[in-house]
A and B are shown apart, each in its own frame.
Chain A
Amino acid sequence: GAVVSQHPSWVICKSGTSVKIECRSLDFQATTMFWYRQFPKQSLMLMATSNEGSKATYEQGVEKDKFLINHASLTLSTLTVTSAHPEDSSFYICSAHPIGGSDNEQFFGPGTRLTVL
């Protein structure tokens, strides 16, 4: 089956530092990946759509300068949380839509837990 990995699975950083999270499709290519944020026992909220070779599109209310997204290849998208603060602590999940897959198909990564001290 289609597998999506995320690295790291968890990270702790100091306030003011930047953290990069990777999302990789391991056995398929994806021109489109999605980044979600999930607070404990809450729903997933779409942050942005990552498009290979072009700029990401951000959902309303998401600061594009704070959450930098780069989709440099057909198998890798990265989310960089810049100048992280404690309120950025959350669970970040990516998903990928495979090239040639059905319209509604996407596969989720296992998530990355970010804790900002």
Chain B
Amino acid sequence: AQTVTQSQPEMSVQEAETVTLSCTYDTSENNYYLFWYKQPPSRQMILVIRQEAYKQQNATENRFSVNFQKAAKSFSLKISDSQLGDTAMYFCAFMNAGGTSYGKLTFGQGTILTVHP
């Protein structure tokens, strides 16, 4: 079974600054996907960024980028130029690329990020 660990229950950052959220995972699989989801106060889950494990290049989406270290099983999220609207709970998630657990997401505990003006 896969596990996802987010060791930072809460983080805060000043507007316009950069913050990094940590995530580690444990799996015996070689092919998988990793995700960061954002859950604002509305509780709607929003995909922030995804990474395919077979790709060495780190994914980027505008102000969001990841540092994917496959050997270390680490998948951190960097938010640049933080905005007030980034305030939310952030979840790291794992999905196996095949097999019986295909499509199932395993989530970390979440990190509450607060952006201060």
Question: Known: A103-B97, A104-B50. Is A43-B91 also a contact (CB below 8 A)?
Answer: yes
Specify which chain B residues have a CB less than 8 angstroms from the CB of A91 in the assembled complex. Answer: 43
| Bound CA span A110–B43, Å | 7
| Bound CA span A103–B95, Å | 10
Q: Is A97 an interface residue (CB 8 A)?
A: yes
**Chain A window 40-59, contacts with chain B (Cβ cutoff 8 Å), 1 for yes, 0 for no:** 01111110010000000000
Taking the closest CB of chain B, its distance from the CB of A102, in whole angstroms, is 9
Q: Is A75 an interface residue (CB 8 A)?
A: no
Q: Is A77 an interface residue (CB 8 A)?
A: no
Q: Is A108 an interface residue (CB 8 A)?
A: yes
Selected from A42, A45, A49, A93, the residue in CB contact (under 8 A) with B45 is A93
Contact stretch, chosen from B15-23, B71-79, B99-107 = B99-107
Residue numbers of A with Cβ under 8 A of B are 32, 34, 38, 41-46, 49, 91, 93, 95, 97, 103-104, 106, 108, 110-111
